[in-house]
Amino acid sequence: MNHHHCGVGLIWVDWNLNEINRIVGRLQEQLIHCQVNSQMDGIVSFLSIVYGDNDAIIRKRLWSSVVDLSCSLHHAPRAVPGDSNATRSSSELINALQAK
């Protein structure tokens, strides 16, 4: 959980210790990045869980971190699940104030 970086702890990660060993590599306000080691078959992969800030300027820091991590991981398997809080257009928003 990233509550040390974000008071409300927007990202939580839970795992089964009998199946997965995880090593947290980066902990930020909008991102938790882990190395995930399977206890069953020894497969090593990476998981970057994101929760993008509602403010687009702050959210840009998240994507800079994601790109930085991509450069360092090269061809390692990686998943980036989460909520980016980004939309392509205002038609994707539900119950949002209409832009004027």
Q: Which of 68, 90, 88, 91 is nearest to 80 (CA)?
A: 68
Number of alpha carbons in the 13 Å side-chain half-sphere of residue 77: 6
Q: Domain for residue 83, yes or no?
A: yes
CB 27 within 8 A of CB 5: yes
Write out the residue range of the structural domain in which residue 58 sits. 20-92
Q: Domain for residue 1, yes or no?
A: no
pTM exceeds 0.95: no
61-79 average pLDDT score: 86
The tens digit of pLDDT for each residue in 8-18 reads 456 777 777 77
- Type of residue numbered 59: R
Q: Domain for residue 59, yes or no?
A: yes
The tens digit of pLDDT for each residue in 27-60 reads 888 888 888 888 888 888 899 989 888 888 888 9
CB-CB neighbours of 15 under 10 Å = 12
